Amino acid sequence: MGNTILVVDDQSSVRRLLEEYLGEEGFRVVSAVDGQQAIYSARREKPDVILLDLMMPKMDGYAFLRQYRQERQTPVIIITARDEETDAVLGLELGADDYVVKPFRMRELAARIRAVLRRNAEEPDRSRQLKVGAITLDEATHIVTARGQEVALTPIEFDLLARLMRSPGRVFTRSELVEALADSGFTGMDNTLNVHIRNLRTKIEQDAGNPLYIETVFGVGYRLNKGS
């Protein structure tokens, strides 16, 4: 049986379309009509990827993300209407990994899902534990600690931090980071890189407004300082 995809959308036509297409692509698809039902389904089914609408009754996508990110770091791709793209960025700030805009191409969506699954399954020889200042990242267990406290990162945040920690002091251009993270299947990174950087700072910095580790090099990109 294929990997499990949880589709969360209050529009039955969207759910049916995704269930039919992704099922034909070899995925096992389960669905939920709102965030509350999605919480129960995610706990029971343990999906590999979640496709999440934002505007839903009872519990919307934002509330779902706030609650679910306290439990698991399953990759979440937001499904949004074109006039709700700003809302999608707010979803990224709550821990989503990427978003696609309706109407989207089914083949592109399936490709993104496969890229996420491939990245998580490959797990190349990652036995190193990276340490920069008070931040430790274990590439084998995907555990990150900051000042002795474990922090929960989304898959894209983990990959971004690992990329920076492998070369502390090096300045990465925005295009370099976007290209590196494109392997994860998140093609919207050029528009959302700053959101993921901001989320990382919130989680690993003692003062996100005055970051000690992740420094912005204006007009170029970002680098990871060694801290103190």
Task: Give the burial string for 125-155 (b: 16+ CB within 10 Å, else e).
Answer: eeeeebebbbbbbbbeebebebeeeebebbb
Q: Looking at the chain, which residues constitute the CATH 1.10.10.10 domain(s)? A: 129-224
Element (H, E) at 203: helix 189-204
State both tokens at 55. 């505007």
What's domain 4-122's architecture? Answer: 3-Layer(aba) Sandwich (3.40)
3-state class (DSSP) for residue 92: helix
Q: Where do the CATH 3.40.50.2300 domains begin and end in the chain?
A: 4-122
Fold type of domain 129-224: Arc Repressor Mutant, subunit A (1.10.10)
pTM: 0.64
Alpha-carbon distance of 225 to 228, in angstroms, equals 9
Q: Tens of pLDDT along the chain (228 residues)?
A: 689 999 999 999 999 999 999 999 999 999 999 999 999 999 999 999 999 998 888 889 899 998 998 888 888 888 887 666 677 777 888 888 888 888 888 988 898 888 778 766 655 444 478 899 899 998 877 889 998 899 998 888 888 999 899 888 889 998 888 876 765 555 555 567 888 899 999 999 999 889 999 999 998 899 999 765
Exposure of 128 in the CB half-sphere (CA atoms within 13 A): 9
Given its phi and psi angles, is residue 87 left (phi above 0), alpha (psi -120 to 50 degrees) or beta?
alpha
